[in-house]
Amino acid sequence: MAQAPEPRKTLDPDQVAFWLARHPDFFVGREGLLQQLKVPHPNIDGAVSLLERLVVDLRQRAESAEGRLECLLDSARHNEAQYRRLRETLLVLVAAEDRDALAQALVAQLHEHFQTPALALWCPAELSDSEPMPPQPPRMVLDAHASARLAALLDGRPSRCTKLSVSDWKQLLPHVKAPRKAGSCAVTRLSAGESLGYLLLASPDPECYRASMDTLFTEYLGDIVARLLWRLEPSMAPSLAPRA
């Protein structure tokens, strides 16, 4: 009885690819084999030589790398512009002669350089007791109700971006006309050894300050403002000096 022929064995494509990757010199001396290889063209029907396909792949990789490089350059240009705007803002803030001037400079600079629609600087009453005139908006005297709402917005964090209801807007930004619908805000706690209040940036656009946004800028600005508030009241220096 004739023996049945053995089934034809075929190589597994993944094994071939693995073997070729381990032996990159396989085609050395076998250039004719390279010329015989045909692979599908990525954009049109039919096949092209391996070398033509490699050229297409290299061109696509170059275009992809160029796109990533352009994204990095755009990011670098954006960061540089942000740095310049922040630098100009800080130079104006440190030149403020009193707390009201500081608050007014803060409003003007953030509106001009960062398109911030509304701002409030809430400070404890004891920071205003030694001043001859009551604080002027956007600087506000922090009372129990405002303190509770600002603490609720922070939700236990040093700074946060979140939604701002119409009622909260009316209470926390009484000097700015409230929008008809809920907006958004970035809020940060001011501290220089002791609590110096809160800085609130707000917008009628609910997407302006999204919860997913980073708050590094707001925290940094809050740190600067807190220290300037402390510096502008020499009589408070012993009790408000930053602790080691």
R_g (Cα) of the chain, nearest Å: 32
Give tens-digit pLDDT for 102-131.
Answer: 999 999 999 999 999 999 999 998 877 777
Domain that holds residue 150: 116-240
**Number of structural domains in the chain:** 2
- C-alpha torsion sign, points 145, 150, 153, 155: negative
CA angle 202, 157, 99 (to 5 degrees): 50
Give tens-digit pLDDT for 191-236.
Answer: 987 889 999 999 999 999 999 999 999 999 999 999 999 888 745 4
Please tell me the distance from the alpha carbon of residue 241 to that of residue 237, in angstroms, as a whole number: 5
pLDDT value of residue 128: 73
User: How many CB atoms sit inside 10 A of residue 42's CB?
Assistant: 10
- Are 70 and 142 in a shared domain? no
- Are 125 and 217 in a shared domain? yes
pTM above 0.75, yes or no: no
Give tens-digit pLDDT for 37-72.
Answer: 666 666 666 655 666 767 777 888 888 999 999 999
SS3 of residue 48 by DSSP: strand
Give tens-digit pLDDT for 5-47.
Answer: 555 667 788 888 888 888 878 877 776 776 666 666 666 666 5
Strands 183-191 and 118-124, bridge-based pairing: unpaired
- Are 67 and 126 in a shared domain? no
Domain boundary among 66, 95, 124: 95
Q: Which residue, among 228, 158, 160, has the nearest Cα to 192 in the 3D structure? A: 228
- Residue 123: give its domain's CATH number: 3.30.450.40
Q: Which residue, among 119, 110, 104, has the nearest Cα to 86 in the 3D structure? A: 110
Integer CA distances (angstroms), 19 to 11, 22, 31, in order: 11, 5, 18
- Are 124 and 202 in a shared domain? yes
